[in-house]
A = this chain, B = another copy of it.
Amino acid sequence: MTTDLNSSLPSEGINKGAEGTGGLGLIEEQVIEFKQSLRLVSGRALTGFRLAFETYGQLNAEKSNAVLICHALNASHHVAGQRKDKPEELGWWDNMVGPGKPVDTNVFFVIGVNNLGSCFGSTGPTSLNPSTGLPYGGDFPVVTVEDWVHAQAHLADALGIRRFAAVMGGSLGGMQAMQWCISYPSRVAHAVVIASTPRLSAQNIAFNEVARRAIITDPDFCNGHFYGQNKIPKRGLSVARMIGHITYLSDDDMAQKFGRSLRQRQDYGYDFGVDFEIESYLRYQGEKFSSYFDANSYLLITKALDYFDPSQKFNGDLARAFSCVESEFLVVSFSTDWRFPPERSHEIVTALMQNNRRVVYAEIDAPHGHDAFLMDDPKYHGLVRNYFQRVAHELR
């Protein structure tokens, strides 16, 4: 194995690659400012906010062909193609979205939007807090999936999109697709929920909490106010990322890719340097991540994951939470995903069927664990392609 291995696996994240754009051309980032206040679920509010987004394809005259793609933990609005200002960065779901791809931009107008609290252009912890004139840092309000969807609806309004042909996402993105169907039932024709869950398990929350502790207890975190102090809690962020990364890969996939292979050595080092390939890989992932991701954003987004639970208001009854839903659903899970295993998707499907919703469900037999949702497995992509062909038919 060589250094290349360190960048060979996508991981709920940003694919950097040199592959072709598949005809999307160079993409320009857009930013929209909203002057109105956004009241948050927490009771706090943002006095005005900004959303960064990208679009691919053309909105039709009826404005009926829009597809919203929601991102997961550490991704962004840069879903597909090459950014004009950073052509080396291919969108994180470029294998899924583009001309002739499963979500075909010759047919659909696709929107990628960066969520509030993130660090890629939308209002977040690095933005200026109007009440202090300094970056929010640790004072940025905790945001929820409901808040994100609410903000995304403002973007849809601004673009004149009354109803989405589909709202789609993997993992945390799938939660947003579900929340759209609950918050705005009449505005979503189809929801595509991939490798997701109706709520985190105790084990999921546990992993998030350890990651947060690693960040918060890093002395360079300074209670979230590290921006002005020339500090970055890189150590904590790196450990947090390593923990997350383990949960994105399957045990089998890790065994096959790394096993017990030693890293550029014949024997153990008998010290605490790198012995195994898996150690080198994880350290590299941690380092890389801590060089571009914001620690406050990581905390915020893991909390949004923990808090998501539409059944909470209904004594844990997910079917009641879905009782208002009008959309049709495609739900996809992956056999080796132990972060959000197929059983979690079954809960979604069951609750939808109890409401007589039309649901296509597939469990894809794939070795790549949770990360499988970012891979271009032919069965998986064939399924999504077929589903979107059906969605396209309804446009006529």
Docked CA distance A242–B218 (Å): 16
Chain B residues with Cβ below 8 Å from A199 are: 260
Surface stretch bound by B, among A115-123, A266-274, A359-367: A266-274
Docked CA distance A58–B1 (Å): 55
User: Are A210 and B272 within 8 A (Cβ)?
Assistant: no
User: Are A43 and B270 within 8 A (Cβ)?
Assistant: yes
The reply on A299 being an interface residue by CB < 8 A is: yes
User: Are B239 and A278 within 8 A (Cβ)?
Assistant: no
Surface stretch bound by B, among A76-84, A186-194, A301-309: A301-309
The reply on A213 being an interface residue by CB < 8 A is: yes
Chain B residues with Cβ below 8 Å from A299 are: 272
Chain B residues with Cβ below 8 Å from A200 are: 260
User: Are B242 and A239 within 8 A (Cβ)?
Assistant: no
User: Are A270 and B142 within 8 A (Cβ)?
Assistant: yes
User: Are B282 and A251 within 8 A (Cβ)?
Assistant: no
Number of contact residues on A: which range applies? 35 or more
The reply on A49 being an interface residue by CB < 8 A is: no
Q: Which of A44, A209, A258 has the most CB of B within 10 A?
A: A209
The reply on A100 being an interface residue by CB < 8 A is: no
Docked CA distance A142–B218 (Å): 27
Q: Which residue of B lies closest to A274 (CB)?
A: B209
Q: Which of A214, A217, A307 has the most CB of B within 10 A?
A: A214
Chain B residues with Cβ below 8 Å from A203 are: 246, 249, 251, 254-255
Q: Which residue of B lies closest to A309 (CB)?
A: B260
How many copies of this chain?
Answer: 2
The reply on A275 being an interface residue by CB < 8 A is: yes
Q: Which residue of B lies closest to A204 (CB)?
A: B251
User: Are A206 and B271 within 8 A (Cβ)?
Assistant: no
Q: Which residue of B lies closest to A199 (CB)?
A: B260
Partner of A272, one of B44, B206, B218, B303: B303
The reply on A141 being an interface residue by CB < 8 A is: yes
Q: A202-B258, A205-B260, A260-B205 are in contact. Are A213 and B286 (CB under 8 A)?
A: yes
User: Are B217 and A239 within 8 A (Cβ)?
Assistant: yes
Q: A270-B142, A271-B142 are in contact. Are A279 and B205 (CB under 8 A)?
A: yes
Determine the main DSSP class of A at the interface with B.
Answer: helix
Docked CA distance A358–B384 (Å): 53
Considering the complex, which residues of chain A in the window 204-243 have a beta carbon less than 8 Å from any beta carbon of chain B?
A: 205-207, 209-210, 212-214, 216-219, 235, 238-239, 242-243
The reply on A320 being an interface residue by CB < 8 A is: no
Q: Which residue of B lies closest to A269 (CB)?
A: B142
The reply on A259 being an interface residue by CB < 8 A is: yes
User: Are B239 and A206 within 8 A (Cβ)?
Assistant: no
The reply on A42 being an interface residue by CB < 8 A is: yes
Chain B residues with Cβ below 8 Å from A306 are: 275-276
User: Are B238 and A278 within 8 A (Cβ)?
Assistant: no
- In the assembled complex, how far is the CB of residue A364 from the closest CB belonging to chain B, in whole angstroms? 21
User: Are B259 and A202 within 8 A (Cβ)?
Assistant: yes
Chain B residues with Cβ below 8 Å from A346 are: none
Q: State the A residues within 8 Å of B (CB).
A: 41-44, 141-142, 199-203, 205-207, 209-210, 212-214, 216-219, 235, 238-239, 242-243, 246, 249, 251, 254-255, 257-260, 268, 270-272, 275-276, 278-279, 282-283, 286, 299, 303, 306-307, 309
Known: A199-B260, A201-B254. 5 other contacts (CB 8 A): A42-B268, A202-B258, A209-B242, A239-B239, A260-B309
